[in-house]
Structure 1
Amino acid sequence: MNLTKNTLNNSRIYIIALIIIAAMGVKNYFDLSQDSMPPYTIRMATVITQFPGASPLRVEELVTDPLEESIREMVEVKSIESESRSGLSVITIELENEISNENLRDVWDELRQKMDDIKPLLPQGTFGPMVKDKDIGTVFGVILGVTSDGVEQNIVEEHARDIRDELLQLPDVEKVKYGGIQEERVYIEMDDQQLSRYGLTAKQLKNIIASTNILYSGGELVLGKRRILIEPTGNFETIDDVKNTLIPVSNGASLLLGDIANVYSDYVAPREKIVKVNGEQAIALYISLRDGANIVNLGDDVSQLIQKINTELPIGIELVRVASQDQIVSKQVNDFLVSLIQSIVIVLTVMLLFLGFRTGSLVAALIPMVVLFSFFFMYVLDIGLNKVSLAALIISLGLLVDNGIVMAESILTRTGSGQSVRDASIAACKLLMIPLLISSLTTSSAFLSFALAQTPMGEMASPLFYVVTIALLSSWFLVFTFVPLLALAIVKVKQKSHHQKQSRLDRGMEKLNLWYNKVLVKALKNPLLVTGVVLSLFVISLIALPFLPFKLVPDSDRNLVTVDIKLPTGTKIELTEKTVAVVEEYIKDSLLVTNAGNERGVLDFSSYIGEGPEAYDLGFMKDEPNSNYAHMLLNTTGDTDNEYIIEKLDQFCYTNLPEADIRVNRLSGAGAAGTPVEIYISGKDMEGLAKIAEQLKQQMYTVKGVKNVTDDWGPKIKKLIVQIDETKAKRVGLTNADIATALSTGLSGFSVGSFREGTKSIPIILKEPTTELEHSIEYVNSLNVYSPQTNLNVTLGQIADVILDWQFAKVNRRELNRTITVGGYLKPGYTAKDIFTDLTPWLEEQNKIWDGKYSYSFGGEDEDTNENLGAIFQWLPISFGLIIFLLVLQFNSIRKAGIIIATIPLGMIGVVIGWYIGQSFVSFFGILGVIALAGILINDSIVLLDRIDVEKEEGPDITWQDAIMRAANHKFRPVLLTTLTTSLGMIPLLISGGLLWEPLALAIIFGLFFATVLILLLVPVLYRLLFRVSFKDYEFDASTLHH
């Protein structure tokens, strides 16, 4: 079918259809979701199990190990990492990349079933295992803080809950979570001796309270035709209900709990989780975006709600923004839209300047139509506006313009020979429809591996394939429908005259064209020399490539600095809070500024102590709560000021807080999270692992470019071992469980039930009366233990030895092997590859000494690079095979397909030159730029080779030499214009795209300039060699090029 002929025969239908789709494209643009980066599938979950009172080694042996063995049986699991610390096991599971988002729920359900099956085999007293797969990967892009000045905590919390309810009413809000809410408890203060006085134990008291505090349905009563629900009372509704619980005692009487114990409610002290905004106590509200919603719209709604709520809050309470991804996304998307518009303007200008009004108008009008068609289909395919999809549109501009140039020039050439616009358009379609379709499909096939790769980076880059494909196929369709319709309206048949006056630009292009033909003839006469020079340059570029720095993804350009503070494991939260306060005071005194004018510094900051914030960015992952940990967010005056702030804070913390592990950094970019430099040391012996880790840390301190070196096990901490004398314990009628309960009650408290207040469930804790006596070995020895069997009270020291010992704070494992991770951050100007290269010789020497007992491997950026690039390269053969198939389908020739394939890798010459000139680096998106360049090379090469066949068919009497020269001459201007439009169109992305897009833009800009030489010189030379067309006696005659 001739698409153009069909269009012109049914012009009214096509015009209406084009107008409708364009109008829908305008509408869909405003309806598209907006975010910084495309979403991707998180194939991770954690299994949390509590084993109160157990040491890390016992947790590892009795909990973590059997759970890991069970998890390992699942074929979908790719990796297992675990952390065993005092009383807690945290296992992180990552699934194979092949597991689709739709199948995740089934896999996690299977994991839950396996955990339920193994639960009876775990030690008595464990809580869990609990599978946590929700909220992993959810970004809480907007964080609000409810600050207070002298207002009681319960009043602040009440207002925070009301604010949360209002936030949940917003249409784009998915979830709202709290941070910094103080935990409440109902305490029953009664020591073991008091309990024994009444013949009670903690467990008996727990059973009495549980039997009184019921919350069960009483069933239903059927009366006639009605069913009446029976609801028995009995659950605690007030503190007095707890106090009035009847407790049967040993003499047969019953006493009120409030008469024999002190019952009261209070907040947990010390606080377990603390949030501060600008150094003041606050409650955080973390807001996540609903799937498919627009985060910019969410930010606008939140801003309006903040204004409304602040007018209603009492004096002393204020609602403020803490972190706002919506504002960043709005700026980034707007910047990219400006870049897109600038690119369109540049391309339009080049078109009108080089092609004149008629041809330029045909091509120029095509661009906005393709963009509107792209918006239409992006909405249909649920592809939102983000940095990747907008960059794809920018990349597509040069490619889609090429289709328009080829079609417009073909129409105008034929009308210049006297054909009608209609006949010229139909003939051009017949000639170009299949070649341009093949070239569009081969170009999009170059991006296919990104769509097939299921790693996070692959999924984030996949919109490139879809958007480029949409743009190219839309361009192909419009070239044969919209362009002919427009040509009928603006093109007049006017036969060219040889005496027609030329413009200065046309005369200049003609001279350039003539010079090119002379150079081409020389190249065709010396094909081996030309091929040898190109291959030599290619080899040199490959040799130079490894000397360029490599960074998988550059750090985020967000105006945000993070501070991670870690003190030795077991540090009390009060000490962590004091450490944070020191940093906060320095920020207030030295870095805090009131506006983002000429000053550089911190605009505002927030602190999260005991537990990090929810994931507020793709580059941050939340850890489990820990009293020794704090995370700080610093909103800065700008991305360019971040390094200044990092340097100042680094110096201050290094000098004033040497005992703390403090890491000041930018956010990781585009979903990369964690430490960039990581070395895993695995083995069985914990002491040996710790010794090797210390040696490695000392070695890393000697390496330039790395800072904040630490390991994930930390120093050893104290522990008390209670060695029970079984003989003495049995003599007084005590079991190990009785002793453990007494210890728990005397030290941390013993849970005996819960108290419901509205929707809140507040634990009821039986504990020893508060004492000023600091916990010590003597205090533990003096704890009373009551034996219900013999009615005797003994101290712990009478039946057990309490011994002070040292232990590792935690035991980490990777793939079921004990592994200690030594990591560090990078100084400016260095990459992880630099550090690994320097460390490898030392590690290899040590590996010989370890004699197989220990092993090492690289993590961090090295691990991320291998995984993400490996997944891309894994699918490249599919892309490559599809390209070859399409080329052979087009030309029905292995040799012609071989010519095009041979030119693809040679584009690296210009790419490497561009990266060196731009002082850039190799990155994931830089490699993507190389693949985009390959697509452009393929596109132009197909059209040039196809033109050689057309020249021979249209002029059977001409020689093959003239056919090659005519084809090259005919495609000289279109190829040159493709280079100009695409490379100049990339300049806005180079300027405003930041470090993320710099390698890609440089690869395309510089790669294209050299690719032009490849297409215009090397392709004809290779054709001459493979098809044995002799140019030995060929004499160049410019007149033979015009027909």
Structure 2
Amino acid sequence: MRWLIEQALKKRVITYFITTLLFIGGAASFFSLGQLEDPPFSIKTAVVVTNYPGASPEEVELEVTDRLETAIQEMPQLKDMYSVSRAGNSYIRVDIKDQYWSAELPQIWDELRRKIGDAQKDLPPGAQESMVNDDFGFVYGFLLAITGDGFSNKELEDYAKIVQKELNLVNNIARVQLWGVQEKVIYLDISEKQLSEFRITPETFLYTMKNQNQVVNAGSVDNEQERFRIAPTGDFSNPSEIGELIISPHPSDIMTNAIHALKEKGNIENILTIMSKESEQFITLKDLATIRPGYREPPMTLMRYDGNPAIGIAIAGTEDSNIVSVGADLDQRIEEIMEKLPIGLQLHKIAWQSDLVEESVNGFLISLLQAIGIVILVLIIPSGLRMGLIIGIDLVLTILGTFIVMSIMDIALQRMSLGALIIALGMMVDNSIVVSDSIAVKIREGVDRTKAAVDAAMENAFPLFAATLVAVMTFYPIYASTASTGEYCASLFFVVATALLLSWAISLLLTPIKCVDMIPKPDPSTKSSTGEFQGPFFKMLRSILRAVIRVRFLTVAILGGMLVASILGFGFVTQLFFPDSSRPQLMVDIWTAEGTRIQDVAKNAAILEKEFISDDLVSSVSSFIGSGPPRFYLPVDSERQNQNYAQLIVNFNNFQDIDAFIAKYKSWVGDNVPDGMVRFRKYGVGPGDPWKFELRITGPGEADIESLRTLGNQIINIAESSPYGRDWRFDVMNPILKLVPEFNQKVGRLSLVSRPNMATATKRSYDGVQVGLYREGDSLYPIIARNTEYERDHLLLTFDNIQIRPDFATWTVPLAQVTTGLENKWEDSMIARWNRRREVAVQGEPAMGSTFPTLRSNVIDEIKKIKLPPGYELFWDGEYDSTKTSQDSLLPGLIPAGVIILLLLVLVFNEFKPVLIILMTIPFAIIGITCGLLVFNIPFGFMALLGGMSLVGMMNKNIIVLLDACNANYRDGLSRYDAIVEASVSRARPVFLAAGTTILGVVPLLPDIFWVAMAVTIMAGLAFGSLLTLICVPVFYSILYRLKKPGGES
């Protein structure tokens, strides 16, 4: 190392040339870095959906869900399963263990597909093929709404498809999808009377439609040297032509009527006459039915923008793209598209990731530049312009060098990587401060400039290297964490490690040459005759140190009392996993009772839309009815499809207006939307949970749902009595009524009527049955036969008169003839399971101004008093599980990090007492942290934890250098007492200088809601930690080395 330092000083041209390259390379790398709002992390969730039409929730659970879960649980990567069995549908959410990150997930999803594929043979007849969706975490960062005043739904969809095709052509676009498109169908409204009169069966419809509108291969023909393809006409060119279709009786219908006639008349000639007439019968479809092109009723999803019907256009960029550049290209293309669209048609931005990323990154860069400026200014004031420039240049070089490494490692500019630079700012300048201060002291003492530079760099090389590695290793547990937070914060560790190691290298190789060239020659007239550290400040500090050493045990007792008080006081600090995001958006969830029609849910949403749009704080309101919107923000899951659910995305002009908006409307929605539960939800940062309070009550495999719900009601009663919670509900919704025609097997057999015949008749009477397909371009639209509107509206009054047609028969039997009655019965609309056990989850949110830990601590004692039946358990999910998982996942990294840190400390000092001094001093930093969080009323969460880890690294570095200076003094002949006192005095200026630069350097982070907890932790902790370094270390040193008096030895 000495050789390198000497060569850097001797060959100045090469050194300055490398410095210039570092400047240029760093600047170029900065402009080539990608830009993101948040660091990417994998959503370790897939969804398995299986339709089983006609099956009850219990049948779906036992015959589909349970069999699929049995196959899935064989996967060793499985963490949790959550399933919902509804009538005709099975939904299974598969969560993979946190230790598997993005690169390993594709192989895991392939294995999941194989398991599900192998299980298909075990599914019952009638169950459709299972679909595995591993794109559950796919993010559409750009979300548009297309609206048009006076445009029909079809016209809106047609133009939306044009926009979709155009945007798909933009560079670095991975996917463009439409949301809220209604399924087109062609309804044939046919009365029961007409079907009976004309003796038309569903088989006749299917037979006729299939023959008429299918794609046919008519062959080809040669003509001399050419060959022509034969393409006959006759298919439908528009829906009106369907009415002209001649209904041809199915051969089985003709035979059935003949047999029926044989039974009645017994004359073969009459039978032949009937068969001949029926085969020649010409009936057009319009004679039987009203043909009505339209949309599937009821719709699956609906969308509105500012109260107007809309279609969503969700756009996703490629993974390796620069989101800001993608957004700029999209903006340009949208301007071109808008010029071609008809007047009245508008494209509206709901979420635009590039704008948020640009704002976020620019905000961080401004904070970083402010921090750098503050640091340099703080250095210049006490140290002079030249010394401030020396350290400031080192800081800029370190940051630029870090950009080069980030470019090589493909780390984008995002919340964590830029935050890491600010976190490491104080530690980065510390290396240069120590080296440059040591060089300046030696020069002022008259040592040759080059020798002073080399000696000062060498004296501090190993202690600073060890201290830097110790600081790096304090962040290692975050990187080693197997939880999603580890993946989210991985870039933080790499950036901090790079910046600190670069700062160490720069302080040894580049700082000495700048000090030699820039530090002025000492003025003999100003040189103190009493020594370097004999000014008033140093004399006062020396007196304080001797005083606290003299009453060392009293000092420890006072500090110990303060530590105990701070630990007790920490209990009054609110806890928070991750803070809210500063996105100027708000989610408003609407839950109505299970069984509510989607049209009524839309009416509730319209009430909120109208009120919210009129508020001056709001810029736009988008409604997604029947399902959550596409995932346009990675940490927020999109709600699965539910007819009784809607979500409003409210955009604001300013993020600060959201709290006032919630306070204004929280009670208003309860009065104006009495039929549903309305929840206001801010966007969070980092891995989060849909419900912060989520307590699952699990029972045996086939536990009674009502028993689970009864236990859940006890918990909700406790929770509702707490002032710290709100928005309580069950994940398993309320029971619903079903109509149960009691089928008479005996009469049914005599009438040739089966259960499927009855089911087909009741389905046709209202929802309709598909009898064919209409082809238009590249789309296929179902043709659905159903009863007339009048018959559908009065169906419940005439239910017994529904006409049931036996298989291949042209006569009908009324439903009342084959049933013993019609009953209304209650059924559980859904059956939820958690890890294969039936469950009911109590879900809720902390009240405004409260946090989940506060809410949980307020209700936990009463909840524990609930007596659970044998086999029933409580499982805390939501924020509790996420926090616990994240904290537990730090343990695997703490052990190797702790071992390496202890090893480094022992290597530096070659004895255990200095190591023990460090371990005894660090915990006292809690005093400053607790005071800071309580005074500023800041919750302690993951970001405060990061600040604490950063603080430990800074304090470790200061203590290591101080104790190393003490050992150097002792080797130079000073007594241990004088060695520790003089080391503390000589380190005071670098310690306070580093502390000042760090504390003031994080001031720009205070307005940021995400970083404020970390900034306060560092500021308060370091302010107190700097005093600890200069006072506690000498006190503990004097105790462990048994110092007796000034000049005395043990």
Report the 3-state secondary structure (helix = DSSP H, G, I; strand = E; otherwise coil) of the residue aligned with 2:622. strand
CA shift at 1:283, angstroms?
A: 1.4
Report the 3-state secondary structure (helix = DSSP H, G, I; strand = E; otherwise coil) of the residue aligned with 2:574. coil
* 1:968-979 to 2 correspondences below 5 Å: 968-979=984-995
Match of 1:1041 in 2: none
Report the 3-state secondary structure (helix = DSSP H, G, I; strand = E; otherwise coil) of the residue aligned with 2:320. coil
Greater Cα offset, 929-938 or 452-461: 452-461
Greater Cα offset, 444-453 or 1012-1021: 1012-1021
CA distance in 1, matches of 2:644, 2:1012: 39
- Percent identical pairs in the alignment equals 28
Work out which of the residue numbers 395, 410, 415 in structure 1 matches 2:438.
Answer: 410
Match of 1:885 in 2: 903
Q: Does 1:377 align with 2:378?
A: no
CA contact (8 A) 1:732 1:790 kept: no
Distance 1:1018 1:232, change over 3 A: farther
Q: Does 1:703 align with 2:722?
A: yes
CA shift at 1:299, angstroms?
A: 3.2
* 1:75-94 to 2 correspondences below 5 Å: 75-94=76-95
CA contact (8 A) 1:289 1:298 kept: yes
Q: Does 1:739 align with 2:758?
A: yes
CA contact (8 A) 1:167 1:176 kept: yes
Work out which of the residue numbers 821, 825, 828 in structure 2 matches 1:808.
Answer: 828
CA distance in 2, matches of 1:753, 1:286: 32
Match of 1:681 in 2: 697
Match of 1:653 in 2: 669
Match of 2:846 in 1: 826
Match of 2:559 in 1: 534
Q: Does 1:901 align with 2:890?
A: no
Match of 2:168 in 1: 168
CA contact (8 A) 2:453 2:516 kept: no
Match of 1:557 in 2: 582
CA shift at 1:645, angstroms?
A: 1.2
CA contact (8 A) 1:309 1:319 kept: no
Distance 1:853 1:244, change over 3 A: same
Distance 1:202 1:361, change over 3 A: same
Work out which of the residue numbers 859, 883, 888 in structure 2 matches 1:839.
Answer: 859
CA shift at 1:335, angstroms?
A: 2.0
* 1:448-487 to 2 correspondences below 5 Å: 448-487=476-515
C-alpha offsets along residues 71-98 of structure 1, whole Å, 9 cap, x if unaligned? 1121111001111222222111100011
C-alpha offsets along residues 351-395 of structure 1, whole Å, 9 cap, x if unaligned? 111222332221111111111111111122122222222221111
User: Which of the pair has more CA radius of gyration?
Assistant: 2
CA contact (8 A) 1:551 1:923 kept: yes
Distance 1:510 1:290, change over 3 A: farther
Distance 1:155 1:488, change over 3 A: same
CA shift at 1:218, angstroms?
A: 11
CA shift at 1:105, angstroms?
A: 1.1
CA contact (8 A) 1:212 1:235 kept: yes
CA distance in 2, matches of 1:229, 1:972: 94
Match of 1:338 in 2: 366
CA contact (8 A) 1:556 1:668 kept: yes
Distance 1:873 1:541, change over 3 A: farther
Q: Does 1:394 align with 2:422?
A: yes
Match of 2:48 in 1: 47
TM (norm. structure 1) is 0.91
Match of 1:993 in 2: 1008
CA contact (8 A) 1:195 1:202 kept: no
Greater Cα offset, 886-895 or 923-932: 886-895
Greater Cα offset, 694-703 or 1010-1019: 694-703
CA contact (8 A) 1:145 1:284 kept: yes
CA shift at 1:168, angstroms?
A: 2.1
CA contact (8 A) 1:339 1:989 kept: yes
Match of 2:527 in 1: 500
CA shift at 1:195, angstroms?
A: 6.6
CA contact (8 A) 2:61 2:90 kept: yes
* 1:169-208 to 2 correspondences below 5 Å: 169-189=169-189, 201-202=201-202, 205-206=205-206
Match of 1:797 in 2: 816
CA distance in 2, matches of 1:219, 1:906: 90
Match of 1:597 in 2: none
Report the 3-state secondary structure (helix = DSSP H, G, I; strand = E; otherwise coil) of the residue aligned with 2:384. helix
CA shift at 1:192, angstroms?
A: 7.5
Report the 3-state secondary structure (helix = DSSP H, G, I; strand = E; otherwise coil) of the residue aligned with 1:813. strand
CA distance in 2, matches of 1:308, 1:43: 39
CA contact (8 A) 1:680 1:858 kept: yes
CA contact (8 A) 2:468 2:501 kept: yes
CA distance in 1, matches of 2:29, 2:626: 45
CA distance in 2, matches of 1:190, 1:429: 95
Match of 2:1023 in 1: 1009
* 1:13-162 to 2 correspondences below 5 Å: 13-134=14-135, 136-162=136-162
CA distance in 2, matches of 1:31, 1:241: 59
Match of 1:1020 in 2: 1034
Q: Does 1:574 align with 2:599?
A: yes
Amino acid in the other structure paired with 2:578: V
5+ residue gaps, structure 1: 594-600, 1037-1043
C-alpha offsets along residues 123-180 of structure 1, whole Å, 9 cap, x if unaligned? 222223111111x223323221111111222222222111122222332433222122
* 1:261-300 to 2 correspondences below 5 Å: 262=289, 265-300=293-328
C-alpha offsets along residues 450-506 of structure 1, whole Å, 9 cap, x if unaligned? 1111322222222221111111111112112222332343235x356374389xxx9
CA distance in 2, matches of 1:782, 1:113: 48
Amino acid in the other structure paired with 2:969: E
TM (norm. structure 2) is 0.90
Match of 1:934 in 2: 952
C-alpha offsets along residues 769-810 of structure 1, whole Å, 9 cap, x if unaligned? 443542644444322221236654212222234321111222
CA shift at 1:115, angstroms?
A: 1.4
C-alpha offsets along residues 805-825 of structure 1, whole Å, 9 cap, x if unaligned? 111222222111221122222
CA shift at 1:7, angstroms?
A: 2.7
CA shift at 1:448, angstroms?
A: 0.7
CA contact (8 A) 1:192 1:742 kept: no
Report the 3-state secondary structure (helix = DSSP H, G, I; strand = E; otherwise coil) of the residue aligned with 2:890. helix
CA distance in 2, matches of 1:407, 1:297: 42
Match of 2:272 in 1: none
Amino acid in the other structure paired with 2:75: M
Match of 2:964 in 1: 946
Distance 1:391 1:833, change over 3 A: same
CA contact (8 A) 1:905 1:934 kept: no
* 1:331-370 to 2 correspondences below 5 Å: 331-370=359-398
CA distance in 2, matches of 1:773, 1:564: 32
C-alpha offsets along residues 39-82 of structure 1, whole Å, 9 cap, x if unaligned? 11110011111122333222222222222222112111100111
Q: Does 1:722 align with 2:741?
A: yes
Match of 1:598 in 2: none
CA distance in 2, matches of 1:167, 1:843: 53
CA shift at 1:405, angstroms?
A: 0.8
5+ residue gaps, structure 2: 255-274
Report the 3-state secondary structure (helix = DSSP H, G, I; strand = E; otherwise coil) of the residue aligned with 1:40. coil
CA RMSD of aligned residues (A): 3.1
CA distance in 2, matches of 1:228, 1:381: 60
Amino acid in the other structure paired with 2:608: V
Distance 1:713 1:216, change over 3 A: farther
CA contact (8 A) 1:679 1:823 kept: yes
Distance 1:234 1:1009, change over 3 A: farther
CA distance in 2, matches of 1:398, 1:220: 81
Amino acid in the other structure paired with 1:733: L
CA distance in 1, matches of 2:570, 2:666: 33
Report the 3-state secondary structure (helix = DSSP H, G, I; strand = E; otherwise coil) of the residue aligned with 2:937. coil
